[in-house]
Amino acid sequence: MVHSPKSCRPLRKTQSASRCGAGSAAEENQRTAQYAANDFLKSSFLPVIGSQYSQLAKRKHVEKSFFISLENLSALYHFTPLPESCSVYPHNIWLAFSHAEREIKKQSVDTELAIISTDHAILATYRQFAVGQILYYIPIRPLYELTEDPERKQQADLLLSVYAYLFKVAQLPLYTQEHSYLYYQYEMIFDWQSTDEDLQPEDWQHFNQQFQHLGMAGMLMQQQLADPPHLVEFENRLTGFECRCETDHKIKKLAQGFFDLYTDYPSVSIFDFIYSGFDCPKEKERIDGRHYLSFIWDLDGDIASDLLSLVNTDLQEYTIMDNPVALQLFDKEQKWVSMSLDYPERFFSLLDDLSDILKLL
């Protein structure tokens, strides 16, 4: 039987980890594009560790590459590294790594140290952007309904450019794409409802109509977002946008933020910062970016409630999450610290703003 609407308000749960580099606690404001479930990711995340040294093979190659990268690291961070002769292999790597890690932490508490390659043991520093217990699901329905209203064409066109950027450049998956995580979740809901012997005919008819509509509307929007003019005309739509009300001002400010991000990083996707398996690589069952970043049809109603409950049930089985990471390798000399999280910080902040604006449409 179709579930009655649940209390599935998309919200940000209080999280202990602040946004990386922000230095402030997470907000508790409810966000339309976010959903934090009760048991989602209770387990703490394990940090990337460099203690893979016990499994490193090819001693000569390992020691040589490790201590060369250690020299490059120490030169940039201005500390005296432990020498290769500090102990026998592989204990010397463990000692030198631990010492370097402490020295790095003295200078930057949010910078982590890791051994990237077990073949050559290259040291790397990295910083993570803590996504937290949030699903960034961007609803398609508000934009779809906006495009159906001729009197709001100006708003629709500008937001189409924003959504096109998210779809084509940032590469957020759409629930109508067969490779997407939410496509599978929607299909599971349909299969369950279609085989529910207790479901009344009128309930099935209502559900099926809703499901067919979200599928067809989603395919239409997918074709729209893939249409090149929406990105090509982004700047023209932005400069020509006339603000007639407070909502218009907010839409224009949001679009400007996304356009600036697009201008600064014209070919960068948020998934360029998400390395699957970087954190605890032995753990195969993990939450990756395509689990928590996606377009969804809607965040309200029976189907959305069932979908979000299904997602929560699935994701609470995982203990490891792939967060966006800024990485700097030390296989060669580095002239300056280069681990910028500027793109993910701006990207997720803009998604928060987008979720607020969608409430106003």
306-316 residue pLDDT tens: 999 999 999 99
Lowest mean pLDDT across 48-52, 138-142, 215-219, 347-351: 48-52
126 bridge partner residues: 112, 327
Q: Which residue has the tokens 């800024």?
A: 326
Three-class SS of 292-318: HEEEECCCCCHHHHHHHHHHHHHHCCC
Q: CB burial class (10 A; 0-12, 13-18, 19+) of residue 291?
A: middle
C-beta of residue 290 within 8 angstroms of C-beta of residue 135 = no
Identify whether the C-beta of residue 304 lies closer than 8 Å to the C-beta of residue 6: no
The Cα–Cα gap between 277 and 283 comes to 7
CA 332 to chain centroid, in Å, comes to 30
Token pair for 196: 């529910």
43 pLDDT band, cuts 50/70/90, is very low
DSSP helix/strand/coil, 115: strand
**pLDDT confidence tier of residue 26, bands split at 50, 70 and 90:** very low
Mean pLDDT of 317-345: 95
247-259 confidence digits (pLDDT tens) = 999 999 999 999 9
Model pLDDT, residue 61: 85
Mean pLDDT calculated for residue range 208-236: 98
Average pLDDT over residues 268-291: 88
What average pLDDT does the segment 26-38 reach? Answer: 37
Q: Pick the residue with more confidence: 144 or 118?
A: 144
User: Smallest Cα–Cα separation from 226: which of 267, 172, 186, 265?
Assistant: 172
- Give the strand pairing for 136-139 and 293-296: parallel
Instruction: Please give the pLDDT value at position 85.
Output: 94
CA 159 – CA 251 distance, rounded (Å): 8
Average pLDDT, the chain: 85
Distance between CA atoms of residues 212 and 234, nearest Å: 31
The pLDDT of residue 236: 98
Q: 66-107 pLDDT, tens per residue?
A: 999 999 999 999 999 999 999 998 899 999 999 999 999 999
Q: Is the pLDDT reported for residue 180 higher than 80?
A: yes
pLDDT at 57: 55
> Alpha-carbon distance 358 to 199, whole Å?
33
Could you tell me where the beta strands, DSSP code E, fall in the chain? 112-115, 123-128, 136-139, 293-296, 325-329
Q: Whose CA is closest to 351, among 185, 149, 165, 141?
A: 165
Higher-confidence residue of 282 and 126: namely 126
pLDDT, average across residues 16-36: 35
Instruction: Report residue 19 as tokens.
Output: 């946004």
Place of tokens 């387990």: 43
Selection from 130, 128, 131 nearest residue 326 by Cα: 128
Query: What is the C-alpha to C-alpha distance for residues 211 and 234, in angstroms, rounded to an integer?
Result: 32
The residue ranking higher by pLDDT, 118 or 11, is: 118
Q: Is 80 exceeded by the pLDDT of residue 47?
A: no
Tokens of 60: 């000569």
Do the beta carbons of residue 347 and residue 261 sit within 8 Å?
Answer: yes
The mean pLDDT of 126-140, rounded to a whole number, is: 95
Q: Shortest CA distance to 255 belongs to which of 344, 158, 172?
A: 158
> 91-107 and 59-77 helices cross at what angle (nearest 10)?
20
**Using an 8 Å Cβ cutoff, are 144 and 220 in contact?**
yes
Q: Which pLDDT band, with edges at 50, 70 and 90, does 11 fall under?
A: very low
Which of 19-33, 211-225, 267-281, 315-329 is predicted least confidently? 19-33
Res. 192: pLDDT tops 50: yes
Amino acid identity, position 326: A
Question: Does 246 have pLDDT greater than 80?
Answer: yes
22-36, 258-272, 295-309, 347-361, range with the lowest pLDDT:
22-36
Percent of the chain with pLDDT over 90: 73
pLDDT of 255: 99
- Kindly state the greatest CA–CA separation across the chain: 78
Average pLDDT over residues 122-128: 95
Report the C-alpha gap between 87 and 41 in whole angstroms. 40
Contacts of 33 (CB under 8 A, 6+ apart): 10, 136, 137, 138, 139, 299, 351, 352, 354, 355, 358
Distance (Å, rounded) from C-alpha 329 to C-alpha 227?
Answer: 38
Task: Quote the pLDDT of residue 140.
Answer: 98
Of the two residues 13 and 158, the one the predictor is more confident about is: 158
More confident residue, 11 or 115: 115
**Which of 33, 41, 39, 40 is closest to 9 using CA atoms?**
33
